[in-house]
Amino acid sequence: MTILRFPHPLLLSGQLFRNTRLRRCRLSECRGACCLHGVWMDPLEMEDILANADLIHPHLAKGRKDPAGWFTDEREEDAFFPSGCLIQTATLPNPAHYGGTECVFLKPDARCSLQTAAVAAGEHPWRWKPFHCIIHPITYEDGSFTIASDEELLAEEASCFRAGTAETRMYESLTEELDFLLSAGSANGDDPKAE
């Protein structure tokens, strides 16, 4: 599911295993709000997307099909990632979308065109989806993968969580993301470890 091979072990914060009364949102509730700033990705992911542009561009919204407009020139150093840096996807104005902007790959139905293209090509849905998109709302901070506090998640309008009623463990709402991290760590020869 990811072409990336990480040079460092993947560590999981205890916050991913805490008790919570939150529940995951539904796409119909958030409408892809997390896509407002685009996403930072390893240049290896960008190269893979561009190499498969013919399979991807039919699934993009009108006016977004030219691969030359898919990425910005911005770079950010990040020693965790294999290339040692990240590049950003382009964003476009959309007053109807949360925050007034959206990722170039967001479709009008609030789905990701990279994911739609992968399914249409007979691939895993996350075949071309960037690492940060796959693990969202999990973040990488201070050497481990973690998640914000319940209070922070509820305060953020674009959060992937809503108030729930039943108490669960946080990881129960993040099984797909954690399975992905486990597979990404295993692909490197390391299994992610809990802190």
**pLDDT value, residue 25:** 83
- For the stretch 49-67, pLDDT in tens is 999 999 999 999 999 999 9
Q: Is the pLDDT of residue 186 over 70?
A: no
**pLDDT value, residue 189:** 46
| Higher-confidence position of 159 and 40 | 40
| Higher-confidence position of 20 and 194 | 20
Strand partners for 144: 141
96 within a domain of the structure (yes/no): yes
Q: How far apart are CA 141 and CA 147, in angstroms?
A: 9
Q: Is the pLDDT of residue 192 over 60?
A: no
69 within a domain of the structure (yes/no): yes
Owner of token pair 């919204």: 61
pLDDT band of residue 1 (cuts 50, 70, 90) is: low
Listed residue (188, 172, 175, 177) closest to 10, CA to CA: 188
4 within a domain of the structure (yes/no): no
2 within a domain of the structure (yes/no): no
Cα Rg, the chain, nearest whole Å = 17
109 within a domain of the structure (yes/no): yes
Domain of residue 94: give its range. Answer: 11-194
What pairing do the DSSP bridges indicate for beta strands 91-93 and 71-77? unpaired
Give the residue ranges of DSSP H helices in the chain. Answer: 27-30, 43-51, 53-56, 113-120, 131-135, 150-155, 175-187
* Residues 7-11, mean pLDDT to the nearest whole number: 74
Record the tokens describing residue 96, joined without a space.
């109807």
76 within a domain of the structure (yes/no): yes
Q: How far apart are CA 86 and CA 152, in angstroms?
A: 26
Total structural domains within the chain: 1
**pLDDT value, residue 7:** 63
3 within a domain of the structure (yes/no): no
pTM of the prediction?
Answer: 0.88
- Is 136 buried (19+), middle (13-18) or exposed (0-12) by CB count in 10 A? middle
177 within a domain of the structure (yes/no): yes
